[in-house]
Amino acid sequence: MEEIKRNKSLTSFGSVEIRKPILILSAGMISMTMGYLLYRSFILVLATPFIYFFLLKILAAYKKKKLKKAFNSEFKDFLYSLSGSFGTGRHLLEALLEADKNLSKVYPDDSQMIVEIRKILMHLRLTGYDEIKVLEEFKLRRPTEDVIDFVEMYKSCRESGGDFAGVLSKGATLIAEKLTIDREIEAITYQKKFEGRIIGTMPIVLLVFLNIFAPEYIEPLYEGFSGRIVMTISLGLTILAFFMIERITEIEI
DSSP string, 117-137: HHHHHHHHHHTTS-HHHHHHH
What would the mean pLDDT of 145-172 be, rounded to a whole number? 78
Classify residue 150 as exposed, middle or buried by CB count within 10 Å of its CB (0-12, 13-18, 19+): buried
**Contact yes or no for 114/103 (Cβ under 8 A):** yes
Report whether pLDDT(132) > 80.
yes
Classify residue 96 as exposed, middle or buried by CB count within 10 Å of its CB (0-12, 13-18, 19+): buried
Tell me the average pLDDT of the chain: 77
159-to-29, 59, 132, 163, 222 alpha-carbon distances in Å: 55, 43, 11, 11, 71
Q: What is the pLDDT of residues 191-213, one digit of tens each?
A: 777 877 787 788 888 888 888 88
Number of other CB atoms surrounding residue 216 within 10 Å: 7
Tell me the three state secondary structure of residue 18.
strand
pLDDT at 117: 93
pTM confidence score:
0.65
Report whether pLDDT(140) > 60.
yes
Could you give the CA distance from residue 237 to residue 252 in angstroms, rounded to a whole number?
26
Q: Which of 57-61, 111-115, 172-176, 223-227 has the highest mean pLDDT?
A: 111-115
Backbone φ and ψ for 18, nearest 5 degrees, come out as -100, 110
Bridge partners, 125 (sequence order): none
> What confidence category does residue 11 fall into, taking pLDDT thresholds of 50, 70 and 90?
very low
C-alpha of 30 from chain center:
20
pLDDT at 49: 59
**72-91 residues labelled b (16+ CB within 10 A) or e (exposed):** bbbbbbbbbbbbbbbeeebe
> What confidence category does residue 114 fall into, taking pLDDT thresholds of 50, 70 and 90?
very high
